[in-house]
Structure 1
Amino acid sequence: MGALSTFVLIPGACHGGWWFEPVAQRLRELGHTAYAVTLTGLGDRAHLLNASVNLDTHIRDVLALLENERLDEVILVGHSYAGMVVSGVADRVGERIDAVMYVDAFVPGNGDAAWNLTNDEQRAWYIDGASDDGIGIAPLPFFDPRATPHPLASVVQRLRLIGPEHTFRRKDYVYAAQFDNSPFTSTYQRLQGDSEWHVHEMAARHNVLADGPEQFLELLLSTVPDAFD
């Protein structure tokens, strides 16, 4: 039987904590602690969107949660854009992080931005989507009605890794194999050959919670340490 863990779940572009809330609720029902984060400028914090909201802002959002809730030994999970945030948080407070999971997400190095890690199709969305005000990237038409514009500055800002290198108990990558023209295929292929990573493939589109909620829950639970570790 696995131990009880603390999950911090960070959604991708245009999405609030509501996206992760169903799986967070399932984790709580199993006895785990789970936080579904809403980043500044998104979801019910959409009224805070302005030109200054960037990647650093979102990293600070999660750092503040960890500090204010006194969270340690966290399993930090990020979907899509939020891989940028996971890497930034893990860099700054690695001593609080037990494991990381990137869900069809960017896995940046120092100096990377979502802009340079993605493909031309996604970059066109960033620019065209922000053409109304130059601040927020409009949700794509097929997104959930609750989706809100995503701060453009957060996808063009480069990640600065400033802390010491940390070794985590485990690192997981989940790849959505049915995401057409996925910007994450090269990351998936690269990590498949890295013995430090547990790499998983889901028969799902990018919205893994819609296409494979039970499988995704099982993958989350596989990251929990054994009670006797």
Structure 2
Amino acid sequence: MATFVLIPGALHGGWWYRPLTEGLRAAGHEVYPVTLSGVAERGPLNGGGVNLDTHSGEVLGLLEAERITDAVLVAHSYGGMVASAVADRAPERITALVYADAFVPRDGESAYGIVDDVWKERYLRGTAAGGDGYTMVGLHPGLDPRATAHPLATLLQPVRLTGAGEGVARRTYIHAERFEDTPFLPTYERLRKDPAWAVHTLPVGHDLVREAPEEFLGIVLAAAG
């Protein structure tokens, strides 16, 4: 039995992972889908001070509180920023990392710094639409209707990495090749040439849970060994 910790992307709660959660539990595994502070049902906790450290600290706290020492971290989109910080700080608690069309930052990078000008402009428009100066809302009509505002500081704060996370032996990346204007293509191009990574390409858009549930589940299960 493996223990999966599922970290969602921006604007989404742990509920986004429901089909994957159900599939993993049906296979006999323990699963913790996470909703981070300032997002979804935890939106009232967003007072402007929620940043990347807040989110990574919450996942680290979960690993500690639940005494998890064999975690498979699965991260979608923005969640890759969080997973990278967690893996760097607690590599001894993690057996595998799965980045599902997600950021895989290097030391000193932020989500905003990684994306291209198209996405920078979208972040800024989303912040203007949020209206409070410290949250961003999603403007794409294809978003899950449950998507909510997201703490802006989590996208702006650079991650600090020592390289300890590279000690996690099993690292998997999933590239969604039909994600329009994807900001993750440079990440995919970098990792597919790296023998330390198992890289998969799926002919779908960014919403892997909706568009490729069975393929997503199969990759995640294989990553756990």
* TM-score normalised by length of structure 2: 0.95
| 2:22 aligned with 1:25 | yes
Q: Flag structure 2 segments of 5+ consecutive residues without an equivalent.
A: none
**Partner Cα distance (1:204, 1:56) in 2:** 31
Aligned residue identity for 1:154 = T
**Matched residues in 1 for 2:180 and 2:60: separation?**
33
Q: Partner residue of 2:220?
A: 220
Paired positions, count: 222
Amino acid at match of 1:126: Y
Identify the match of residue 37 of structure 2 among 37, 40, 44: 40
Identity among equivalent pairs (%): 46
2:51 alignment partner in structure 1: 54
Unaligned runs of 5+ in 1: none
Per-residue displacement from partner, 1:129-181 (whole Å, max 9, x unpaired)? 11111111112232112111011100010001247454113100000000111
Residue of structure 2 in register with 1:103 after alignment: 100
1:135 corresponds to 2:134: yes
Provide the C-alpha distance between the structure 2 equivalents of 1:69 and 1:195, rounded to a whole number of angstroms: 33
Q: Which whole-Å CA distance do the structure 1 matches of 2:126 and 2:180 have between them?
A: 19
1:22 positional shift = 2.0
Tell me the residue number matched to 2:157. 157
Distance 1:23 1:165 in 2: 24
1:121 alignment partner in structure 2: 118
Residues of 2 paired with 1:39 and 1:163: CA distance?
24
**Aligned 8 A contact 1:136 1:151 in 2:** yes
Distance 2:180 2:146 in 1: 23
* Post-superposition CA distance 1:67-106 (Å, at most 9, x none): 1111111111100011100000000001000010111111
Asked whether the equivalents of residues 40 and 149 of structure 2 are also in contact (C-alpha less than 8 Å), the reply is no
What is the one-letter code of the residue matched to 2:161?
Answer: L
Q: 2 CA distance for matches of 1:38 and 1:176?
A: 23
Q: Is residue 75 from structure 1 mapped to residue 72 from structure 2 by the alignment?
A: yes
For 1:145, the aligned partner's letter is P
Distance between the aligned counterparts of 1:80 and 1:215, measured in 2?
Answer: 17
- Determine if the alignment matches structure 1 residue 93 to structure 2 residue 97: no
TM-score by length of 1: 0.94
Question: What is the CA–CA distance in structure 1 between the aligned matches of 2:99 and 2:166, rounded to whole Å?
Answer: 16
Q: 2: distance between equivalents of 1:50 and 1:139?
A: 19
User: Which has more helix, going by share of residues?
Assistant: 2
Rounded Cα–Cα distance in structure 1 between residues aligned with 2:142 and 2:26: 30
